[in-house]
Amino acid sequence: MTTPQERIVPTDLRNEMSRSYLEYAMSVIVGRALPDARDGLKPVHRRILYAMHELGLTHDRPFRKCARVVGEVLGKYHPHGDTAVYDALVRMAQDFSMRSPLIDGHGNFGSIDNDPPAAMRYTECRLQALTTNALLQDIESDTVDFTPNFDGSQQEPLVLPARVPQLLLNGSSGIAVGMATNIPPHNLGELLDGLVALIRNPAMTDLELMQYIPGPDFPTGGQILGTSGIREAYTTGRGSITMRGVATIETIEHRGRPDRDAIIITELPYQTNKAALIERIAEMVNERRLEGIADIRDESDRDGMRIVIELRRDAYPRVVLNNLYKQTPLQANFGVNMLALVDGEPQLLGLKQSLQVFLDFRIETITRRTRYELRKAEERDHVLQGLLVALANLDAIIHLIRHAADTTTARQELIASYELSEVQADAILQMQLRRLTALEAEKIQQEHNELQLRIADLRDILERRERILQMIEAEVADLKSAYANPRRTLIERADGELVDTDLIANEQAIILLTEQGYIKRMPVSTFEAQSRATRGKAAARMKEDDGVEHFLTCCDHDSVLFFSDRGISYCLKAYQIPTGSRTSRGTPIVQMLPISHEERITSIVPVAEFTSDEYLVMLTQKGYIKKTELAAFSNIRANGLIAISLEEGDQLRWVRRARADDSIIIGSRQGMSIHFRADHEQLRPLGRPTRGVRAMALRPGDELISMDILPSQVVDSIAESEDADVDCETEELDADLRNQGPWALIITMGGLGKRVPVSQFRLQKRAGMGLRAIKFRKTDDRLAALQIVNENDEIIMVTSRGIIIRQVVNAISCQSRAATGVRVQRLDGDDAIVAVALVPPANMDEPDGVE
């Protein structure tokens, strides 16, 4: 009798844990989580299909209860829980999970809303025709190896003799120990085309195969954005594919109510839960993270999916849709990880390698099937040769059998007398008397001849690889004609990365910056056009010692360049500037730009696109001017970029965009103006860290107050005009000149204004005194703005107290340079106009750049 101490085996815990965990990990990897690269199936799926094949549940036989199949699988092949088996069976029957379902389900097998299937005692199933003909055919022909089941009572296949690349057809996903797989589904027809192309050209690359297999084909349809993720996945085995649902924008009619735009979603990305998506959208709307949605409902039925998202009347449908793509599972990524078992070991496969592994397996399968058929044919022909010997010696053999003592004696005498094998002798002894007729004898001879031809053909197949490849091509052609269907997922060639501008409407906006550095953005629609000489609306609630300093109009997608008095440039996107109401103060600009409290923004320039043929013209307080290529400011660092070099005491004041053929018009506080070309002769391009040249000679006490740009075609017309009243000092103006645009809009601080034809401002040389632009009605009045305007333009004026008025320029009289102008805005007390800006042209349908 042994003691307890003698039964204990000492062992190192570290080694035992390492060995046991490694065995467990390999068991999970090989026996549960990863598919075989040959038939694309995990053990549980393979066992279910084989059990159904054994039960005879083919596509042309009646359905059987799923519980019967699950019981068969559990009892014979898969010693695990019934839930795991039933869940795997259900997934193989779901047309929204499998691109080509392997099981034909009858009953409730779940839905895309993640509804659970009915219990296995209620549902029924059978094999699909594709499964029978493409995965299980020839399984009895010694095409694959079998292994004992868990208790040794049954034999189960290690792999199914697949005729299609099932690994790519329906994909696979699973998590093992330390590794995982996630393979997307593909289109059957495309896979078979790619397989044929690989057979004909074994040197094809992954990228060349993409001509036949452009990308995954998901059962739920949808879209794939871009091909870079597909290319990476096919070449390396890993990649991220961006999936997007299919949505359209429609107008829905309501009885008794105004029509509304709505987003109609008809297809979802693969593995997206429809009910969860709707719930997510509703939550985000309630939390105000999604704007513009009025109602959402699910109108899906047996005819297809239809999710209706009704929009508010002021919403931009495309912007709302882009936000849905950005913030909800309506757009998702599929992380491809093409890991599968090759010869029992996990390998990361590319597209070509996946097809090559299947092709090698298919060649092996056909070779084994051919050997099996050859062996059976030779065995049958061997028997027939014995029967032919018997028929040739019929009387003697009958005599031998009749006089033999027993069967054993007759067998031995046949073998000895006619050099027959034991199998042939048994066949002769078992021959029926009806086989002795002349007709039956002829049939035996005919069958022997046919078998000889068959045997020769089978041997030729085994000797020539090209014959096997031809057979694979023939199989592929038959399968494609019988089971292939059109692609469901559309591949968009452009990458679908959504940037901020896709999510923001490109609306017209006003940007207002006060003297104390408060900035805000307001929609232009906040201010309706008003009649001339009215008071206007308050645009900001400012402190008593604050006032509006900069004021411009742009679109929300524009880049806004800020230039400080120190000659430094900064950049923000217009939509990054916080919006504010008419009465809000705004956000301190020091919170948005890396400037000190002493540094002041002196000019703001909106830029929609940084083109190579445009320049920035800069004018300093002391009258130095220069032009620099706009492209030099396309990439401004976060801490700013030097725009101009300044001498001691000078400041950068005005920056405008211009082309080389344009001209520049500058106004001074005392009402003087100068007009000269911006060409390289008058103003050659300079780099950023340079000072510039003299722009205008000023009288004592005068200062520069504005600068604007005239387009080249206007400049040419001025130069060619012989009737231009360039030295006109009278207030009279010909009717022809009144109607000739563009005009120089001249606004005084006292609220007076006029339009003057630009032909009244002749071209001069740079650095001159210039011409008088207006005669002031009051001696203390001064020029507030000199700006170029065209017919149908609108302007917005702002006063030092933050009062804004919007007007059409046609409401302002056209007068000569010597006139005093008309009242354009009624001012209170000591208020004065400080800035004028043009309203950007309205877009036709929706904001530019919104897709």
| Rounded-to-integer distance, Cα 271 and Cα 182, Å | 12
C-alpha distance from residue 748 to each of 668, 672, 712, 752, 793 (Å) = 11, 12, 27, 5, 19
Is 24 annotated in the active site?
Answer: no
| Rounded-to-integer distance, Cα 498 and Cα 502, Å | 6
Q: Which of 397, 403, 453 minimizes the C-alpha distance to 420?
A: 397
C-alpha distance from residue 670 to each of 695, 703, 775 (Å) = 16, 8, 9
Query: Residue for token digits 């929009």?
Result: 311
Phi, psi of 76 (to 5 degrees): -105, -35
| Rounded-to-integer distance, Cα 805 and Cα 797, Å | 5
Peptide bond into 742 cis (omega under 30): yes
Q: Is residue 237 exposed (0-12), middle (13-18) or buried (19+ Cβ within 10 Å)?
A: buried
| Rounded-to-integer distance, Cα 556 and Cα 509, Å | 6
| Rounded-to-integer distance, Cα 518 and Cα 512, Å | 8
| Rounded-to-integer distance, Cα 185 and Cα 165, Å | 11
| Rounded-to-integer distance, Cα 271 and Cα 241, Å | 13
Query: Residue for token digits 């009910």?
Result: 275
Q: Which amino acid is at 658?
A: A
Q: Write out 201-219 in H/E/C secondary structure.
A: CCCCCHHHHCCCCCCCCCC
| Rounded-to-integer distance, Cα 561 and Cα 559, Å | 6
Q: Record the tokens describing residue 75, joined without a space.
A: 């009892």
Q: Write out 130-149 in H/E/C secondary structure.
A: HHHHHHHCCCCCCCCCEEEC
| Rounded-to-integer distance, Cα 251 and Cα 452, Å | 74
Query: Residue for token digits 């089978």?
Result: 458
Q: Which of 21, 77, 86, 122 is catalytic?
A: 122
Q: What angle do CA 695, 701, 705 make, to 5 degrees?
A: 50
Q: Record the tokens describing residue 598, joined without a space.
A: 């002493």
Q: Which amino acid is at 470?
A: Q
| Rounded-to-integer distance, Cα 72 and Cα 52, Å | 8
List of residues 6+ apart from 449 with CB closer than 8 A: none
Contact yes or no for 561/601 (Cβ under 8 A): no
Phi, psi of 580 (to 5 degrees): -145, 160
C-alpha distance from residue 353 to each of 31, 209, 338, 360 (Å) = 22, 11, 10, 10
| Rounded-to-integer distance, Cα 159 and Cα 265, Å | 41
| Rounded-to-integer distance, Cα 746 and Cα 451, Å | 107
Work out the widest C-alpha separation in the chain, in whole angstroms: 153
Dihedral sign from CA coordinates of 647, 653, 656, 662: negative
Q: Is residue 429 exposed (0-12), middle (13-18) or buried (19+ Cβ within 10 Å)?
A: middle
DSSP letters spanning 495-534: --PPPGGGSS---EEEEEEETTSEEEEEEGGGS----TT-
Q: How many residues does the chain have?
A: 851
Active site residue ranges: 122
